[in-house]
Structure 1
Amino acid sequence: MTQQIHAPYHFVPMSKWVYMPDWAHLVSHDVPFEDGLSGVIDYTLLTKTPLCVGGEQQAQGNGANLVQFARDPMKKLIIPGSSVKGMIRSVLSVATFGKFSQFDDQRFSFRDISSAKGNYLANVIGKNDVQAGWLSFDASSQQWQFMPCEVSKVAHKEIKAQLGISIENKNTAVEKYNKAPLSKPISAVISAPRGKQNNRWAEHLGKGNTQGHLVFTNMRIPGRGDRENYEFSYFFYDQQPAQKYVDIQQQVDDLFANHDKKQVDYLKRNLAPGLGMPVFALIADEKIHSFGFAKMPRVTYRNSTEELVEISSPAHLSNAYFDMAELMMGTLRDEGLGLKSRVTFVDALVQDVSERELITSNLLILNSPKPTFYPAYLEQKLGQKYYADYDASQPLAGTKRYIAKQPLESKLTSNAKDNKNVAGQMELCPVGKHFSGKVVFHNLKPVELGALLWSLQLEEGACHQLGHGKPMGAGAITLTASLTCCQANSGHVDANVEQLVALFIAHMEAEHPTQQWRHSPQLNYLLALSALENNADVNTRYMSIDDKEFQQAKNQYAKLEPFKGLSRNEPLGMDKLENTVSLAFGAGRLSQLVEKTNEPWVDHVVAARNVKQKRLDDQRAILLKQQAQADKKASMSEHAWKVEELGLQLGDVDNTERAPLIRPVIAFFIENTNQQDKEACLALVKLARDNEYHQKPKKRAKEQKQELANLMAAYGVSL
């Protein structure tokens, strides 16, 4: 049976294009735009599914915590303006192709022993030798150093029998060390190799001639065999001189990041005297791959989340780029280039909900998905029998959004197996209730105000998602907005919601590199995931670990399928930088953001900006020339303009092409004789003679000379 990956969330694809408006370098809270608008938007919020915008938590008699609905000091239900602002900013960023910047830069680690052909066993354990040793920091060289040593196993029953200390596999490493401190050396007898794996064992503890230290790990997960096989720890002995490995700081940082904090902190404080902390090193070709506190440690993926974001476009991470959401709603920057928000969200007040109408949810697992599940969180190539993990240079899947879907019941139903130890409850506002709020905006350009209004209302059938419980279907709401006050910096304004939204849509269609903004994968996914009434058939349940759904899916290389079959591929042409770069990049007051960097991509973007600017300047020059010609034509008679236009045409052709251009103009003058255009006639005769119309080509010279004579006779002029 084929196992599909399913989850209550999906991803809006990350774009190669980051849109930075051409006016970004002009945005200021203090200097108004000539076309800037200021005013107030009133909106009404309608709950489409149960809603909980969390406030205080209250302990319940069943041991679970109840997340109460937010309230003001008068105990009235409210939705904080900051919650609405965060929701709208997320939508605005997607709709305007903003930066993918709201993420934690993490470098994940892994230890997957489920498949012998998997990356961990085949490429990490299989390609590196395991070496026990001691890790210490050399104060004189200010570097970490590794001192190899010998290692043998030591049975827990041996520790119990010889030392009277009870050690069990189920105990944590710290619990074990508290019983048998690392700082206390002990003697032992090391056995000859024995068993299928030729292991040596430390025996006769406290009575042998070999000095060493007991080393403990956290619990090994028992398999199906004899649990006693897991009741052992390690004995480190016969240390060798410290080995010199070039710059192992990153491997040490990864060691501390990938292991239990209590274990790390204990070992940092309780080093073995003169030795350091016990570790296992994975080594290949005299280079340390990684350190661990066990023979099969967690190891760090090659790429961090930030490095995978950069694959799509360095602009996503650049402080020199300002997207529309940052320009409108504020951003932090050094060099005094931070921006205040020009949009303020006021708390939304309840309209028609009483305390007795609030619903207490069922017990729910309020956990959050983990981005280490790369079959979903990384963009995968469908149909291929392998995964791209964080070692591969594959982009992140994009902006995570929960799938809007009606819950099975008003009290919600957990979409994961219940674990009452981590379960909680929520105070829910029922469906069909209203809140009213305001948005105050200051000095927004009309297209920015249109973007804000579009983001508030979305398109018909699409819902916002707010508050807690979104994986269970809670938090779907709609907003209806109206402009109750709008003033222009220029003193005149004539705009309504529909006009401003249409202006924004037209602007984004024109700015999109392929003029397919509305039909881009990003907009398609944003709106499809938000279409509450269209998602009843979507499986939004979390996959079960207990039922081995995760493992079955990974064994079959299942991927998170495109949502409802929508394409995730961007149209061709998205990588032509000169068509996408903003003229504001590195311009004006933003120039200092690129002057101090040596990154090659910055020079590339500046060069592309210059190409785009030259093209626009050339187009502007042509338009100005065309406008000047149009103005001149409007001020001249038709006859005079014919002569003017002919003079321009003759300057761009060679001698053989001039007569065919002159002949129809002479015919026009004769057929449309107007005595008020004698000056134009004289100018035409002079232009013809200057271009030797009466002499060339020779076979028509006599005929053309007669045409000139007829022209002068018709107007009664002579040279």
Structure 2
Amino acid sequence: MADMATAPYRFIPIEPGYVQAAPVKREDIRFDKPLAEGSLSAVIDVEWTAKTPICVGAKEDTSSEVRPLKIGKRYCLPGTSLRGMLRSAVEIATFSHLGRINSSHHHGVRDFAGMGDYHSVKVGEVKAGWLKREGGRWRIYPVRHRDARFVLVPIDSLLNTLSEQNRVDFSTWQTSMSVAEKYAQLPPVYQMRPNKYFYALEKEGKGLPRACLTRDAPGSSRTFQSSTHPIKDMYVICTGPYRQEATRTSNPRAEEGTPKKNEALFPGPGITGYLIPDAWMDVFHGMHSEYARDGGNPRGAWRTWLLAKGWQDEFKGFKASSDEEAIPDCMREEKLGIPVFWKGDIANLENIDPDDPPAPGLQSFWFSLSRVMRVPHGYSVGDVAGRLYSEANGYHLPRMSEEDGWDFARAMFGEVDGANDSPERAKPGKRADGTRREDAQRGRVAIGFAFAPENTRPESASRRGVFGQPRESFWPFYLRHGDAVADGILGSDRTVSYSSEAAVPAGRKRTVVRSAEAPAFPGGNGNENTETNVRFLPKGTIFTGQIRVHNFHPVEFGALLYALTFGVEDGSLWHQLGRAKGMGHGAISPRVTIAKCDLVHSPDDEAAIGNNSSVSQWIGHFRDWMNKQMEVRDLPAHADHPSIKMLEAMANPSVGDTMAGQHKLDTGELPDFKNWRDVSGSQDGTMSGPYPLSSPLDLS
């Protein structure tokens, strides 16, 4: 198919419902006794050649650029990075668990025109309230007005009240200033103090009324008057540096609108507070935080308000920063909560069990820190992934002792139960000895550092640009319609949003290797905070290292060798590692030598493997075993399965070079992603559009 969109990565499809158990039972794994099914210990020498410039490293304390890791006098590739790279390949090649996903997370979308039955946000129906933390629970108090109304205040009129020393221009206020910075600039009379005057009505009867702040004396004839909206005791409410207003556009799917021109005026909180379920607050918090397994570290205006009220520790995952911005005292007002905008039937919250609420994305009610509301999609990441495994309650990585919990990747590399789980599931169960420690399995493969020669030098200049890519919230790339999977994994090529009952993951994300890096990095939108300086080691750098395995089953050894080479010994299929993979950097070619292999005994007398077997023979043994397992499930042979064919195609630089030459691997700019989303399908998930990315299999 012709590309509707471009991206440097593609998705390797997941075989629905198939998790291949390891060839050895967990209870049989010992470190002091050979496996009964066949056992070997080995040393593998690996020479990695950088086919494009590479950097695996971090910023140094005194540097503004990311530099490659150096130990002593030699640059190197960390063993942990190589381990993660190889484990990812093993997971795909052996149909192991999907594993490391943020199952409980709900992605959100800023909605302007309405996203179906639950997401609709109509401009005139957005109301005002105050979010408070009381008695260990969260409540929203609608503002003290019969219809919970608020009034808009033009930014121009706010700026006119600023003193000369605090004067800022419209564009700076509109797009750059944080909530705390805005309140710090306001005159004291408008710093979260109730006002009965100083505003004049504008455009009554034409949508939401606007009140212009003035410097007139109390009692001025310009005092605000309205028959339908609040008229006194209002607080100036500033929101973050958003660029848009919540207005309907000509394109019903567009997430654009007009440039933001207004802040707001809220009455104080009313007397009735409505309880918000903790599960919904966790979703809201996750949508405004940087996710981590132990919770989420809040960001932006949400972080500022939590710190201002002293509520930052009410959620797991808060991490203090040494450079927190100053918070004006006015934001700490004890009588007031956090100003929020809300929509829907708030009174219906009284009919919801707060300890067992329905999915937040399937409700008419929601709230936001700005009038341009970010509402949750209908289904979480786990809900969508669970459909691949017929799990009605969403996908969660099972414990190793549970059904389908024992796979190749865990058997070979080890695992700690709960290490990659959501916070609510990451609680150790009671063990046989009465303790509540997490169950753990020690890995049997050790991957050492791979070192470059001492005379290796980085490139003379660093490279600067934006290396970020759309995250999994960008559903046109990350999701497919379930029928596309059911029709043969790559059949129908359709996509839908996280609000669709038919959505499933498009697959495991992986960049396509190529022999030449992109000539220039994307510049982004001019925000220096999103740009990174990186110093690379040059193309042609050779790293040497070792991998040791202990008490491996012969099939596991073949699986590891396949993950290293993708089934070929000549190094013609490559991995990628480090920074700027999406720009073609970090391509590395393996040269693998079995330095030592002590096979205690073969799994059967007919096995064509032994201490002197070649890499290809071990890989063949692995593939023969996999073919038998897949035949039982009426699946294609391992080499013919679409997932494996896609993996090998994406590791083939000739495929990547062809795609790059056709601009299929280009990184899009922000307007491109909006256009790609709009042509991919309707946001409400009831319709589907064509999947926008072409397949490398079309070229391999």
Q: Structure 2 length as normaliser, TM-score?
A: 0.70
Q: 1:416 to 1:521 in 2, by over 3 A?
A: farther
Q: 1:316 to 1:252 in 2, by over 3 A?
A: closer
Which amino acid in 1 is paired with 2:15?
Answer: S
| Residue matched to 1:263 | 301
Question: Which of 654, 673, 677 does residue 550 from structure 1 map onto?
Answer: 673
What's the CA shift for 1:256?
4.0
1:373 matched to 2:474? The reply is yes
Question: Which of 139, 144, 147 does residue 144 from structure 1 map onto?
Answer: 139
Larger mean CA deviation between 151-160 and 31-40 belongs to 151-160
Larger mean CA deviation between 4-13 and 389-398 belongs to 389-398
Aligned partners of 1:135 and 1:278 also within 8 Å: yes
> Hey, what's the Cα distance between the residues in 2 that align with 1:385 and 1:242?
50
1:216 matched to 2:238? The reply is yes
> Hey, what's the Cα distance between the residues in 2 that align with 1:127 and 1:156?
19
- Counterparts of 1:230-629 in structure 2 under 5 Å? 231-237=261-267, 239-244=269-274, 247-259=276-288, 261-268=299-306, 269=309, 270=331, 272-284=333-345, 286-287=347-348, 289-313=365-389, 314=391, 317-319=397-399, 320=402, 321-333=405-417, 334=428, 335=431, 337-351=439-453, 354-355=455-456, 358=459, 360=461, 362-380=463-481, 388-393=496-501, 394-407=503-516, 412-415=519-522, 419=526, 421=528, 422-460=530-568, 461-490=572-601, 494-497=611-614, 498-512=616-630, 513-516=633-636, 517-538=638-659, 539-545=664-670, 548-557=671-680, 559-564=691-696
> Hey, what's the Cα distance between the residues in 1 that align with 2:258 and 2:509?
45
Aligned partners of 1:302 and 1:390 also within 8 Å: yes
What's the CA shift for 1:12?
0.7
What's the CA shift for 1:193?
7.0
Aligned partners of 1:11 and 1:401 also within 8 Å: yes
- Counterparts of 1:78-227 in structure 2 under 5 Å? 78-105=76-103, 106-113=105-112, 116=113, 119=115, 123-126=119-122, 129-139=125-135, 142-150=137-145, 151-156=150-155, 169-170=173-174, 171-178=177-184, 179=186, 180=188, 183-188=192-197, 191=201, 194-197=204-207, 199=209, 201=211, 207=219, 210-221=232-243
What's the CA shift for 1:402?
0.5
Q: 1:163 to 1:349 in 2, by over 3 A?
A: closer
Aligned partners of 1:138 and 1:145 also within 8 Å: no
Rg larger in structure: 1
Aligned partners of 1:465 and 1:475 also within 8 Å: yes
Alignment RMSD (CA, Å): 3.8
Which amino acid in 2 is paired with 1:184?
Answer: R
What's the CA shift for 1:372?
1.8
The 3-state SS of whatever aligns with 1:355 is: coil
- Cα offsets for 1:504-538 (capped at 9, x unmatched): 00011111222422211210110111111222221
- Cα offsets for 1:616-638 (capped at 9, x unmatched): xxxxxxxxxxxxxxxxxxxxxxx
Which amino acid in 2 is paired with 1:20?
Answer: A
The 3-state SS of whatever aligns with 2:344 is: strand
Which amino acid in 2 is paired with 1:12?
Answer: I
| Residue matched to 2:228 | none
Structure 2 unpaired stretches of 5+: 224-230, 250-256, 289-297, 310-330, 350-364, 418-427, 432-437, 485-490, 604-609, 681-689
What's the CA shift for 1:278?
1.9
What's the CA shift for 1:132?
1.2
Larger mean CA deviation between 256-265 and 431-440 belongs to 256-265
The 3-state SS of whatever aligns with 2:46 is: strand
Q: 1:127 to 1:263 in 2, by over 3 A?
A: closer
> Hey, what's the Cα distance between the residues in 2 that align with 1:371 and 1:291?
23
Q: 1:242 to 1:31 in 2, by over 3 A?
A: farther
Aligned partners of 2:21 and 2:407 also within 8 Å: yes
> Hey, what's the Cα distance between the residues in 2 that align with 1:358 and 1:230?
44
| Residue matched to 1:639 | none
Q: 1:507 to 1:282 in 2, by over 3 A?
A: same
| Residue matched to 2:420 | none
> Hey, what's the Cα distance between the residues in 1 that align with 2:154 and 2:470?
39
What's the CA shift for 1:503?
1.0
> Hey, what's the Cα distance between the residues in 2 that align with 1:550 and 1:229?
19
Which amino acid in 2 is paired with 1:88?
Answer: L
- Cα offsets for 1:589-627 (capped at 9, x unmatched): xxxxxxxxxxxxxxxxxxxxxxxxxxxxxxxxxxxxxxx
The 3-state SS of whatever aligns with 2:657 is: coil
Larger mean CA deviation between 125-134 and 447-456 belongs to 125-134
Aligned partners of 1:49 and 1:406 also within 8 Å: yes
> Hey, what's the Cα distance between the residues in 2 that align with 1:87 and 1:261?
30
Q: Taking CA–CA contacts closer than 8 Å with sequence separation of 6 or more, which of the two structures ends up with the larger relative contact order?
A: 2
Aligned partners of 2:235 and 2:267 also within 8 Å: yes
Aligned partners of 1:404 and 1:465 also within 8 Å: yes
What's the CA shift for 1:163?
8.5
Which amino acid in 2 is paired with 1:51?
Answer: I
The 3-state SS of whatever aligns with 1:280 is: strand
> Hey, what's the Cα distance between the residues in 2 that align with 1:463 and 1:431?
14
